[in-house]
Amino acid sequence: MRKDTPMSPRRNHPKGRKPKQEDREIGTSSDAIEEHAEGIFVVRKITGSSSTKPYRCPGCDQMIPMATPHTVAWLEYDVETRRHWHNACWAKRAHRSRNTERTRNAPRY
């Protein structure tokens, strides 16, 4: 290399525009908003690795074991309605009939 040739500085950053602070999304949550007949729900998909406790699904009334991917949903204005659902139960809840509790020998009509 010749000493009289100037060397250009090395670029360690991308050539494109760097995002400004106000351009970036503040929340990094994977929450989604879904509108249903019961109201507007905030829905969060939980991975198996972040599921550390068993829960009871309100759709099928069965246990959701630990380390099982599932859905957490609650009404937008009421966090107290937060429930853990099987993914399939959450997707099919509009098509499910009401689960009427009966005694063992009660008629089904």
pLDDT at 22: 42
Residue 20 is encoded by which pair of tokens? 């400004």
Half-sphere exposure of 21 (CA within 13 A, CB side): 0
Question: Which of residues 28 and 70 earns the better pLDDT score?
Answer: 70
Instruction: Report strand pairing: 55-56 vs 39-46.
Output: unpaired
Note the pLDDT tens digit of each residue in 15-60. Answer: 665 554 443 343 345 899 999 888 999 999 998 888 888 999 999 9
Classify burial at 99, counting beta carbons within 10 Å of its beta carbon; exposed 0-12, middle 13-18, buried 19 or more.
exposed
In the prediction, which pLDDT does 29 show? Answer: 57
Measured between alpha carbons, how far is 84 from 96 in angstroms, rounded to an integer? 17
